[in-house]
Structure 1
């Protein structure tokens, strides 16, 4: 099975309980969120609902674009600043 690497940052890392994961290639954004929520629970699901996603360093704008094999997805929750 070809896969995609997922890297969690800040609140996403805390909610997932890990720094990284792997998911199957070919998922669209809804499938990606569903798979990670299934694995790690509703706490991560709430973070994913407001997070930004970078695929190989580029913002994942097209919700229907499938993840290519070997890609890296960075999960970036909103950051608080002060």
Structure 2
């Protein structure tokens, strides 16, 4: 049972890939710890300021378990004008 994690912009560069899978059933905070362990401090710094969508909806409860089959989008702050 897995979830899909998709990275955008600076998160993609920090992770070194556009997406990957992780085990379901953990909270968003637990998932972020796992991703930090996989990819190191460069991604950790992006995750600290990123927004997260779970199946397209902003994640407000970072302690709720992520069910199998969902997609988590990692959206770092975007620059521009």
- Structure 2 length normalisation: TM-score? 0.97
The whole-number CA distance in structure 1 between the counterparts of 2:50 and 2:37 is 17
Gaps of 5+ in 1: none
Shift of 1:20: 0.3
| Aligned twin of 1:11 | 10
For this pair of structures, how many residues does the alignment match? 81
The CA deviation at 1:30 is 1.4
Aligned to 1:24: 23
Residue in 1 that maps onto 2:64: 65
Q: 4+ residue runs of structure 1 moved beyond 6 angstroms? A: none
Correspondence for 2:74: 75
RMSD: 0.6
Once the two structures are superposed, what CA deviation does each residue of 1:15-67 show, in whole Å capped at 9, x if it has no partner?
00000010100111210110000001110011001100000000111011111
TM-score by length of 1: 0.96
